[in-house]
Structure 1
Amino acid sequence: MMEKRYQGEWLSLSSALTPPLAVEILPHGVTIHRIIVQVEGKTHDILIGPENPKDYETFKYTNTIIGRYANRVRVGEHTVKKDGFESSVRPISNESPEVSLHGGLVGFDFAVWQRLSLENAKLFTPAEIRTIQNSSTSEPSDNTAIYAYTSEDGDQGYPGELYLETLVALLPPAQGEKGKVGSIVILYRARLTNEGITPINLTQHWGFNLDASLQEDGSGKDKLSVKNHRLNIRASHTAELLPNSLPSGKYCPVGGTVHEHNDKLIKEGYPNHGYDHYYLLAPRPCEKLVPHRISAKEFDTAKAGVELNIVKEIFESTNEPVVQLKSEKSRLKVDFDSNQAGLMFYTNNHPNKQFRKKIHGGSGIKDDGYINGSAAFLEFHEPLSAFLHPEATPNSTDTLLTSNEIYNNFVRADIFVDSDASAM
């Protein structure tokens, strides 16, 4: 019997008009273990990862939530101030003596999150719960789940006790959405339980390969690259990195560089060591953007009966995607939207080669893993170490959360069978 942390829970939806969509979630780090899509009788799992959920113990930072702070932060003591609150942050080294990666030694990716019933959710308003309940004609528990976790004061060097809830929802396509299979929404909420301030920057560290399930057996291992996927990122700048991969605080325009991903093949201009870069998204003045923070006072008023429904805005959004990943070979396409200022794009340059899913041609056992360049990790979050470089990106948040606010961060992935793509 597997430990509770690795017992997957399935969310699914299906329709007579479109292929079905299903997601398997593990309480271990709110891991999205599988995204299953049916295309013309073929079953695809579009996420890389181990076959056995327990192998996420060593298959770190794959398909999990990352926090309290995504990416890299300089080790040391940092004073943070905002709105009259002040505290000290002491990130713990784990990647190198001067670098703290993805929240520290034991981040949110390794925590055991508890699934809540909708009526027990604390960080969603009554109006939002009704929207979640009405998001499908099937039972709500079949296509939505909320997971909760409490991070204690001082956890991995971060101040303040932080209570978090993560919503994962599958949405059916709206009437008339040609080729659409459905949507996956991940919404993170967090609140300090006492007065204070803390940095927070969450993301889902998921790795996509839209062709991996086309491998019929282990002989396809060397064909698992995503370099023939097409990628479009509506970016304006990339973050400049120091030799230790910490951000310098400077941003460089993408125009005319390999970082100008304008529906080009990933292999075009592919760097020697692959992609591992943060992209600052271009401003979107004509689109309604979901807020990064909710006033705690406004939220508490809404809990008492006043309508506040950001979930509805996300579920019904018609914004243009900020990122698109597609494959002509599988004819699958994923459009992404988020309220975050940017994203990391990483091509699995230093993969854990121990395990590979059977549906991807692997054996599922040790020493049969993925090659370099085998995934497109698309991790939406605010700029790197933003609380240490607030002047670098004035149009984004400083990633500081006070007890007067509710953290609100979402990513939405719309999955399509691309009828306009021809098989390679």
Structure 2
Amino acid sequence: MTLKTIALYGALALAATSTATAAELSRRPFGQTPSGEAVEAVTLTNAKGVSATVITYGATLQSLVAPDKAGKKADIVLGFNDAATYVKNASYFGATVGRFANRIGKGRFELDGKTYQLALNNNGVAALHGGVKGFDKVVWKVLETKSGPTASVTLGYVSPDGDQGYPGTVNATATYALDEQNQLTITYGATTDKPTIVNMTNHALFNVAGEGSPDGAMGNLLTIPADGYTPVDNELIPTGATTPVAGTAFDFRTPTAVGARIRDASEPQLIVGKGYDHNYVLNGKSGGALRLAARLADPKSGRVLEILSDQPGVQFYAGNFLDGSWIGKSGKLYRQGDGIALEPQHFPDAPNKPQFAPVRLDPGQTYRNVMIFKVGVAK
């Protein structure tokens, strides 16, 4: 890196900081991809000690730092310290996933009488998270940054017609905004030039006890205000049914430790998913005002994370496939259950399930998915 480039990054950070009234924004290099594309890190920081770092590779939430009841800060998002490791890893840590988050059975869907075949990048039986090179595996462009009472960064990516088998040129945006109420708001948007399907979300893996904590995330107390969930077949594709959670290991309507029932072998759905990897049907109306989608709390630190959403569902994934083969940013091995994904989104395989909310996007329409990650401490 040249001295001129270093000076430019310094000037950008200084300019952002000097104009901020509370929340600040800074930018720095974060390495590069194997093809030589530069990756940036943008950090948003408020006056209460909360900060979020977003990297341009995959429009990824690389870090979310929050204080506990004693004021001690900890990063509560799993991830890595450089772009090269994100490129090598295929676990979607913190990434923006799309065009279609989650699974599409047999990688196939029909639109206006035409069948589209996608790559079967999920064990050869389904399309997962947008394909072999989805939104998580490209470098996004920084479109806009702001400091002030709310600091924000907006990133953009243009997905060409036919990308990963999907029709239409899609202009996608991801805006991360941090305010003084300790709310990190992620707003996803997309437009298209021909009919297509879109379902974007964020795949952050959380542990409110702190990333890399010895006991993992199984002691996190989870609440999901959902009376039902969508069971899956042996390929983890929803059957199309909605099953009540009452009386099952899937009932998180009251705070329950994630690990309390995760090894219950009497529950066939836990065997199929090797733990929790299921879509919950959120109570309340989707597409309107944001409502609570999930809450995580750590009894020891008092740290709390609330997730608000305008989407019909939230995918709960308990890190079942983390196998200790990756070293996280704190120098600890990531093992099964070390992080929890709670992804506000439309239902998996929605293009093939007419009983699920539609995911079609037409020219002239704008897709939106708004989610808030609010950190605090238990009172």
- Write the letter of the residue equivalent to 1:390: P
2:325 to 330, 342, 354: 354
- Supply the distance in 1 between the matched residues of 2:130 and 2:275 (Cα, whole angstroms): 24
1:102 to 91, 112, 129: 129
- Supply the distance in 1 between the matched residues of 2:73 and 2:371 (Cα, whole angstroms): 24
1:383 to 337, 347, 352: 347
| Per-residue deviation, 1:320 | 5.0
| Per-residue deviation, 1:5 | 4.5
Q: Is 1:235–2:231 an aligned residue pair?
A: no
- Write the letter of the residue equivalent to 1:147: L
- Supply the distance in 1 between the matched residues of 2:287 and 2:230 (Cα, whole angstroms): 24
Q: Is 1:46–2:76 an aligned residue pair?
A: yes
Q: Is 1:330–2:330 an aligned residue pair?
A: no
Q: Aligned pair count?
A: 334
1:168 to 142, 167, 176: 176
Counting aligned pairs with the same residue, the percent is 26
| Per-residue deviation, 1:169 | 0.3
Structure-1 residue corresponding to 2:18:
none
Structure-2 residue corresponding to 1:184:
184
- Write the letter of the residue equivalent to 2:50: L
1:12 to 35, 39, 45: 45
- Write the letter of the residue equivalent to 2:237: L
Structure-1 residue corresponding to 2:141:
114
Query: What are the equivalent positions in structure 2 for 1:295-334 lying under 5 Å apart?
Result: 320-334=291-305
1:154 to 153, 162, 166: 162
Q: Is 1:403–2:363 an aligned residue pair?
A: yes
1:77–1:35 distance in 2 versus 1, CA, 3 Å: closer
1:189-220 Cα offsets, whole Å, 9 max, x none, are: 1001x2x21011111001001113584xxxx3
CA RMSD of aligned residues (A): 2.1
1:281–1:29 distance in 2 versus 1, CA, 3 Å: same
| Per-residue deviation, 1:283 | 2.3
- Supply the distance in 1 between the matched residues of 2:45 and 2:38 (Cα, whole angstroms): 20
SS of residue paired to 2:85: helix
| Per-residue deviation, 1:172 | 1.0
Q: Is the 8 A contact 2:80 2:86 kept in 1?
A: yes
Runs of at least 5 residues in structure 2 that lack an aligned partner in the other structure: 2-30, 265-273
Q: Is the 8 A contact 2:323 2:336 kept in 1?
A: no
1:112-138 Cα offsets, whole Å, 9 max, x none, are: 1100126xxxxxxxxxxxxxx6x843x
SS of residue paired to 1:56: helix
TM-score, normalisation: structure 2: 0.83
Q: Is 1:268–2:298 an aligned residue pair?
A: no
1:266-307 Cα offsets, whole Å, 9 max, x none, are: 1222235321111111224xxxx655xxxxxxxxxxxxxxxx
Q: Is the 8 A contact 1:50 1:59 kept in 2?
A: no
- Supply the distance in 2 between the matched residues of 1:336 and 1:52 (Cα, whole angstroms): 27
1:144–1:211 distance in 2 versus 1, CA, 3 Å: same
Structure-2 residue corresponding to 1:129:
none
Structure-1 residue corresponding to 2:27:
none
Structure-2 residue corresponding to 1:340:
311
| Per-residue deviation, 1:107 | 0.4
Tell which has more relative contact order, 1 or 2 (C-alpha 8 A, sep 6+): 1
- Supply the distance in 2 between the matched residues of 1:232 and 1:57 (Cα, whole angstroms): 33
SS of residue paired to 1:372: coil
- Write the letter of the residue equivalent to 1:117: E
- Supply the distance in 2 between the matched residues of 1:378 and 1:332 (Cα, whole angstroms): 17
Structure-2 residue corresponding to 1:34:
63
Q: Is 1:68–2:99 an aligned residue pair?
A: yes
1:64–1:77 distance in 2 versus 1, CA, 3 Å: closer
Structure-1 residue corresponding to 2:86:
56
1:69–1:5 distance in 2 versus 1, CA, 3 Å: farther
- Supply the distance in 1 between the matched residues of 2:67 and 2:219 (Cα, whole angstroms): 21
SS of residue paired to 2:358: coil
Structure-1 residue corresponding to 2:238:
247
